[in-house]
Structure 1
Amino acid sequence: MSLNRYRLKHLRKQQHKGAQRASEMLERPDRLIGLILIGNNLVNIAASAIATVIAIRLYGDAGIIIATFALTLVILIFAEITPKTIAALHPERVAFPASVILLPLMKILYPVVLSVNTVTNALLRMLGVDPRHKQEEQVSKEELRTIVTEAAALIPQRHRGMLVNILDLEGVNVDDIMVPRNEVYGIDLDETDEEIMACIQRSTHTLLPVWRDDINDIVGVLHLRNIGRVLTGGELDRDALEREMDKPYFIPESTPLHTQLMNFQQKKRRLGIVVDEYGDVVGLVALADILEEIVGNFTSNLTDPDDEIFPQRDGSFVITGTANVRDINRSLDWTLPTDGPKTLSGLILEHLESFPAGNAGLTIDGYRLEILELEGNVVRAARATDTSTA
């Protein structure tokens, strides 16, 4: 009964004989318990009767009391506590060899076990208990997270982090990790050829969205591997540019990351245009962004959160206002709220409920935030301190 059911299933799939025998008996735990208790009580009662007869012959009527106390100690120590403690601590080492004896006994004593179980099962039904009902063990996401994080000796730390990140994908939407529209880098077809060529040359991305006049009118996505096909004699060929563009792939901002990861795989896409409920473009999300949520930042990532978070000597941090709140939490192991604004600037302004005329400070969930630089309606930099450790 102390066997780990998931390990037992694993060993059974590996064709482990002991696991197969144990699994067969555990299919009907009422019969297994009946068999064990029949043997257990048979031996205990027989030992009690024999010990009483011997004690009476040796000590007379006082032998009954002597036999009772002596046999109780012997049974408790050698037949109950010691072997069952060993079995609880090492269930596989005890259960698998024991199954060699118990399984044949189950078949030999089947009529006895069946008759006893018939009576006990009838009593259980009278109490509203179904003896045939076997509750399947299920693990919730939180329990699975605990299993992964506690498996320190079995799973390397990096792999544990990846598994936990995969579990977290379900609770994160694309708008949590997307590049906001004001930071989107792309090609505007209304610009001159020289400006478009300069835009391509300065690009640090392999996929560039292409739009006319406004980012809400994205007409395609250009892969820079095809750049040679849009140049004629070193000059930009606009007709070729439009031919080489892929159709834009639009996705709702509320799409969960695990769903979007499968969508990217099914549609063979690497870049999605995130739109709100009105169809307006609110940002971009790339396949690499989702993969980074699982494996961590790639070495080629040019927007490392460390470039937005600057530790100070007094233990505080100067953080740019455009820094993503989730990136801050991940980098500093903090717990700033992530169910609202996605950037530090938005988080501060939401809690202030106004645009401050100058520098201001506030405390959010135990974190002291002080505005250092305010440009228009955007916080450019803020000082953050974890007051719980101060």
Structure 2
Amino acid sequence: MNEVPLGILGGILFCLILLSAFFSSSETGMLSINKYRLKHLVKNKNRSAMKVSSLLERPDRLIGVILIGNNFVNILASAIATIIAVRLWGDAGIAIATAALTMVVLIFAEVTPKTLAAIHPEKIAFPASWILAILLKALYPLVWIVNGLSNGLLRLIGVHASQNNHDTLDSEELRTVVNEASGLIPAAHQEMLISILDLEKVSVEDIMIPRNEVVGIDIEDSIEEIIDQICQSRHTRMPVYNGEINKVIGILHARHAAVFLRDPTPSKAALLKATVEPYFIPESTSLNTVLLNFQKDHQQMGVVVDEYGDVQGIAALEDVLEEIVGEFSPPTQDEEEEIQTLDDGSFRIEGSTHIREINKVLNWHLPTDGPKTLNGLIIETLEFIPEHPISLWVGHYMIEILEIEDKVVKYAKLHIKR
């Protein structure tokens, strides 16, 4: 080395710094790459992505070859820098070389390349994977020895490096991914994806039509009243019951009702023949399960019952799908919107409106772990059934009862305290 010109030693040192930067950036790029985008590129047969994926299957070997290369070039660079410094400044050059090389390696071979790789992992990892694959084959005996010793130490603490680390996401982590992808996914699609993730958390009682609003046919009514009710109904399916809603005996579909009405001598027997057997759903069933059961059993409407078998309401396939895609159609002329904006910025809301719907539309946070409707929330908070319009606070929300009918809050005025 003493006969080698300083210019050549300087050139070698420069190349070693570049190699150190390559190994440092490769390590960060390979380990920082988006695993899900990588899997997508592998499915599309991207050769560089396939090479990266192959190396990442055994991260112990990948890290082994990178660190062997990095440590080798850093140690060699340190030796050459010391030789250059000693020839220039004598014994004092050792301290100078140590300080200077530390700063050079830290800035040009560690921090800068690793930062670049963290920001653009694909641009670094894809080309580097081809070089690392060649080095892994060339240095495999040395990598095997190093990994063997290292893996032996890991096994002592119960870690097996050969185990594949399958990257999986739970629903909350997937929700975060969807929210973070707001710039890449249209807002409507993003809302649908979030709604699908919420299906497991929402039970059928959160979206059902409560029993007091169920429009059904009482088989005990006269045939004329039944025919008149069918003709005036806006619903495609109606439960048929015997005396009270708890005694549901069938479901009448609109197309079957049309056949029944064309009968020149319609009878209750013909009506019962036109009905289909009711499909019952426990009130605590999640919407995810309801949707799957509807699909499996080819059903489009179910009767929701509690643990005692009493009917609590009905739920249709349309109600479940609206939780995902939103309302299919606006209210008719005979119907009012459940949530109406008033001139003073407050909201006039029907008491039967589900709290989840209020939170969803207004981006509020009314409690949902108790009653499911606004009326239920008011009564639970007051702990009595109001007989006259009064006001109350629920958290930061001011609720003013506007109208009471049959011991039920018909309408209320709400606003949030800012």
* Alpha-carbon distance change, 231 to 355 in structure 1, aligned in 2, over 3 angstroms: closer
Does residue 14 (structure 1) correspond to residue 63 (structure 2)? The answer is no
Residue 247 of structure 2, aligned match among 217, 230, 235: 217
* Alpha-carbon distance change, 102 to 270 in structure 1, aligned in 2, over 3 angstroms: same
> Aligned residue for 1:96?
126
> Aligned residue for 1:73?
103
Question: Residue type of the partner of 1:158?
Answer: A
Does residue 350 (structure 1) correspond to residue 375 (structure 2)? The answer is no
| Structure 1 unaligned residues grouped into runs of 5+ | none
> What does the per-residue CA deviation read over 1:334-375, in whole Å, with 9 as the maximum and x for residues that have no partner?
111122222211111111111234222211121111222223
Q: Secondary structure at the match of 2:271?
A: helix
Q: CA deviation at 1:59?
A: 2.6
Q: CA deviation at 1:69?
A: 2.7
Q: Contact conserved, 1:229 with 1:240, CA < 8 A, in 2? A: no
Q: Contact conserved, 1:273 with 1:283, CA < 8 A, in 2? A: yes
Q: CA deviation at 1:197?
A: 1.5
**The 10-residue stretch of structure 1 (378-387 or 65-74) with the greater mean CA deviation from structure 2:** 65-74
> Aligned residue for 2:282?
252
> What does the per-residue CA deviation read over 1:91-120, in whole Å, with 9 as the maximum and x for residues that have no partner?
111111111111121111111111122223
Q: Secondary structure at the match of 1:171?
A: coil
* Alpha-carbon distance change, 305 to 115 in structure 1, aligned in 2, over 3 angstroms: farther
> Aligned residue for 1:277?
307
Q: Contact conserved, 2:387 with 2:407, CA < 8 A, in 1? A: no
Aligned length: 388
Cα distance between partner residues in 2 of 1:327 and 1:142: 21
Cα distance between partner residues in 2 of 1:233 and 1:126: 82
Q: Secondary structure at the match of 2:239?
A: strand
> Aligned residue for 2:25?
none
How is 1:51-62 mapped onto 2 (pairs within 5 angstroms)? 51-62=81-92
Q: CA deviation at 1:383?
A: 1.7
> Aligned residue for 2:365?
335
TM-score after normalising by structure 2: 0.87
> Aligned residue for 2:71?
41
**The 10-residue stretch of structure 1 (182-191 or 252-261) with the greater mean CA deviation from structure 2:** 182-191
- The percent identity for this pair of structures is 54
* Alpha-carbon distance change, 35 to 344 in structure 1, aligned in 2, over 3 angstroms: same
* Alpha-carbon distance change, 157 to 305 in structure 1, aligned in 2, over 3 angstroms: farther
Cα distance between partner residues in 1 of 2:251 and 2:333: 21
> Aligned residue for 2:230?
200
Q: Contact conserved, 2:341 with 2:347, CA < 8 A, in 1? A: yes
> Aligned residue for 2:402?
372
Q: Secondary structure at the match of 2:151?
A: helix
Q: Secondary structure at the match of 2:199?
A: helix
Cα distance between partner residues in 1 of 2:356 and 2:278: 27
Cα distance between partner residues in 2 of 1:368 and 1:72: 64
**RMSD of Structure 2 on Structure 1 (CA):** 2.1
Q: CA deviation at 1:269?
A: 0.8
| Structure 2 unaligned residues grouped into runs of 5+ | 1-30
* Alpha-carbon distance change, 300 to 72 in structure 1, aligned in 2, over 3 angstroms: same
How is 1:272-311 mapped onto 2 (pairs within 5 angstroms)? 272-299=302-329, 302=332, 307-311=337-341
Question: Residue type of the partner of 2:75?
Answer: I
* Alpha-carbon distance change, 304 to 289 in structure 1, aligned in 2, over 3 angstroms: farther
Question: Residue type of the partner of 1:318?
Answer: R
Residue 323 of structure 1, aligned match among 340, 345, 353: 353
Q: Secondary structure at the match of 2:367?
A: coil
Q: Secondary structure at the match of 1:248?
A: coil
Q: Contact conserved, 1:2 with 1:88, CA < 8 A, in 2? A: yes
> Aligned residue for 1:85?
115
Residue 178 of structure 1, aligned match among 208, 213, 238: 208
> What does the per-residue CA deviation read over 1:258-308, in whole Å, with 9 as the maximum and x for residues that have no partner?
000000001111010111111111110000000000000012665999712
Cα distance between partner residues in 1 of 2:253 and 2:335: 26
Q: Contact conserved, 2:227 with 2:261, CA < 8 A, in 1? A: no
Does residue 122 (structure 1) correspond to residue 152 (structure 2)? The answer is yes
Cα distance between partner residues in 1 of 2:235 and 2:198: 27
Cα distance between partner residues in 2 of 1:123 and 1:182: 68
Which structure has the higher relative contact order (CA within 8 Å, separation 6+)?
2
Does residue 189 (structure 1) correspond to residue 209 (structure 2)? The answer is no
Residue 150 of structure 1, aligned match among 175, 180, 183: 180
Cα distance between partner residues in 1 of 2:303 and 2:274: 18
How is 1:158-173 mapped onto 2 (pairs within 5 angstroms)? 158-173=188-203
Q: Contact conserved, 1:305 with 1:323, CA < 8 A, in 2? A: no
Q: Contact conserved, 1:305 with 1:327, CA < 8 A, in 2? A: no
